[in-house]
Structures are given as structure tokens and as C-alpha cells.
Amino acid sequence: MTTRREALGLFGTAAGAAFLGSLLPDPAAAEQAGGGLTAYGVAPDGKVAGFPWRYMKLDADAVAERAYKGFLSGHCMYGSFFGIVGELAEKYGAPYNNFPFAMMKIGAGGMADWATLCGALNGSALAASLLSNDPKPIADDLFNWYQSEPLPSYHPKQTPRVEITTKSVAHSPLCHASVARWCEKANVKSFSTERDERCAWLTASCAKKTVELLNAQADGAFKAAYPVPKEVQECRSCHDKGGELEDTRGKMDCAPCHFNLGTKHPIIERKKI
Ligand code: HEC
Ligand code: HEC
């Protein structure tokens, strides 16, 4: 018997796209497959019925443009998520176009203006989670790229509200650090049009990067280009899982917050940010 996944494999081309609406996850079918669980619920074996949704390779620049425009109507998390999943919705219809995209608006300003995780990263990682069997390496590469790359790297095609000439390295996946560093370098206020425009370009940059990673993964050619920096790995070797202290967790760059370790601390080489 042909399984559903094999059947999907037969329709890998645009010609097969019309069939996808009927083949892609249907909540009622998913509920049945999930043995009575709510649609898309997690079964005891850790699997999720009808999930992830099938990914079809996208044009990274088209995604960036959609993300940019998405930012202008729904901010960063909405923009990056809609840039990617909205592109699939326009090309392939259901189920992508049934996604309640508006729920992503809460991610603005590092989630409800808490300036925690950058919304452009949040929306991108959520899109990868919706569309990939193996989203974590994508999030890892995206986040490490974001921490170390001068951004924003994408210039929108339409004339922007204001030209952005400053790029900065965030050294953090946090909205707070990312915005503050950029504002300091650009010498503008955090609620200025300049900062808003910079975040729109940043949203497009992140969505574009994510789709490049998703495309590479779909081709079986994904290779992490931004590993966790050596210094962070060293900190983690004592402080993270399995380390001698195991008193914290995380892959963020530690240095921006812990720049001054006590005199009792084991001596380690520090880079200067
Ligand atoms: C060789 C193991 C080792 C490595 C590597 C290491 N630590 Fe520690 N860390 C310790 C020990 C042991 C203590 C407790 C001693 C103390 O109170 O300073 C500690 C304490 C700390 C503390 C709490 C006390 C303080 O000094 O503020 C922080 C924060 C910390 N480490 C951060 C880091 C960061 C950031 C890095 C990487 C740059 C790092 N550690 C690398 C072993 C390590
Ligand atoms: C965004 C800022 C931030 C980043 C990034 C960060 N930390 Fe922390 N860390 C904190 C804060 C705040 C505390 C709580 C400090 C306190 O209350 O004493 C803390 C606590 C700790 C402690 C416990 C300190 C103690 O007094 O026992 C360790 C160890 C630590 N961090 C290690 C790390 C390591 C390793 C990394 C990188 C993988 C890291 N931190 C990244 C802000 C940060």
C-alpha cells in the first residue's frame, strides 16, 4: 500500500501542487491518525499527527520581500513567519492559507514588547518548526548567524520609509541587546522610524536566511556554517548539561552579560565585545 508520505513524494513538482490541498493535513484525518487526540496533538511516542507541514522550496528574495511587507503590517515575528509560510499559502493554498497568521503579531518587540527573543528570529524558528522534520539545526545556524553577522543585510526592493546605512552585530538573540546596540551605533532613538525600518530590513534578512537553510535541508545539502562559538562552548563545558557545575543552560553568547567574572573564577581567555 502507498503511504501518505510516499503519495506526497509523487507530487513534488508544481504540477502536483493542485493535489496538495487534498493530501496535506486535514484536521479530522489527523485526529483519526492520532488515535482520538485533538488534531495535531502530541502522541505518547512523541509524534504529532499531520505534522510538520510539507515544505516546498521557495525563492529566498520573494520571501524577504513578503517578510518586509509583513513587518509593515504586523511587525517582526509576524513578518518573518508570514514571509515564509505566507509565500507557501499564496503558491499552494491549503493548508498554509488556513494558518491564523495574526496570532504572530504578539511577537513584536521581542514578544509583547518585553524585548526578549528577537521577533524576526522567533517567527523564523516557528516557521522552520512548522515546515521541517529537523528544525533545531536551522534555528541554531540562524541564531548564531544573527549573533555574529553585521545586520540588517537585506535592502527592500521598494523605496523604504528611510534609508538605513548602519549595520551592527547584536552579539545576542535578544531584541533588547540587538536594538540597543544598533541604536547606539546609528545614534537614533529606539522608537524612531529609523529603528523601525531597520527592524523591517532585519526581519526580511532573517526570513531570507531561514529559507536558504530550509532549501538546503530540502536538498539534503544543509551544513551548519555558524557553530556555537568556541568561547561559549567552553563556558558551557563547565556550566551546562553534564558540566562540573551544571548550574545553567543556553547557547546565547555569554560575554555581553557576564563580562566581569569574579576573581575566584577559573581563568579563561575572554574576547572583547
Ligand atoms: C573550567 C570550568 C569553568 C569554565 C570553562 C567557566 N566557568 Fe564559570 N565558574 C566555574 C566555577 C568553578 C565557578 C564558581 C567559582 C566562582 O564562584 O567564581 C564559576 C562561576 C561562574 C559564575 C558565577 C560567579 C561569577 O564569577 O560571576 C558565572 C556568572 C560564570 N561562572 C560564568 C562563566 C562564563 C560566562 C564562562 C565562559 C566565558 C565560564 N563561566 C566558564 C567554572 C567554569
Ligand atoms: C542576557 C544576559 C545573560 C546571558 C547572555 C547569559 N547570562 Fe548567565 N546570568 C544572567 C543573569 C541575569 C543571571 C542571574 C545572576 C544573579 O542573579 O546573580 C545569570 C546567572 C548565571 C550563572 C549563575 C551565577 C551564580 O551566581 O551562581 C551562571 C553560571 C551563568 N549565568 C552562566 C552563563 C553562561 C555560561 C552563559 C552563556 C552560555 C550565560 N550565563 C549567558 C544573565 C545572562
Q: pLDDT at position 16, please?
A: 41
User: Which atom of ligand 2 is found nearest the CA of 172?
Assistant: 5
How many A from CA of 144 to the centre of ligand 1?
22
17: pLDDT confidence band, cut at 50, 70 and 90?
very low
Would 153 be classed as within a structural domain? yes
C-alpha grid cell, residue 217: 535541508
From residue 143, alpha-carbon distances to 93, 135, 137, 179, 189 in Å are 30, 12, 10, 15, 25
261 in ligand 1 pocket by Cβ < 6 Å?
Answer: yes
For residues 123 and 236, membership in a common domain is answered with: no
Closest CA to 83 of 220, 200, 170: 200
How many A from CA of 265 to the centre of ligand 1?
5
For residues 150 and 248, membership in a common domain is answered with: no
Range of the domain at 214: 60-218
Residue 255 above 50 pLDDT? yes
SS3 (DSSP) at 117: strand
106-140 tens-digit pLDDT:
999 999 999 999 999 999 999 999 999 999 999 99
Residue 173 is given by DSSP the state S
Would 22 be classed as within a structural domain? no
Residue from 175, 248, 271 whose mutation best tests the ligand 2 pocket (most atoms within 8 A of CB): 248
For residues 194 and 65, membership in a common domain is answered with: yes
Report yes or no: 208 and 61 within 8 Å, Cβ to Cβ: yes
C-alpha grid cell, residue 14: 508544481
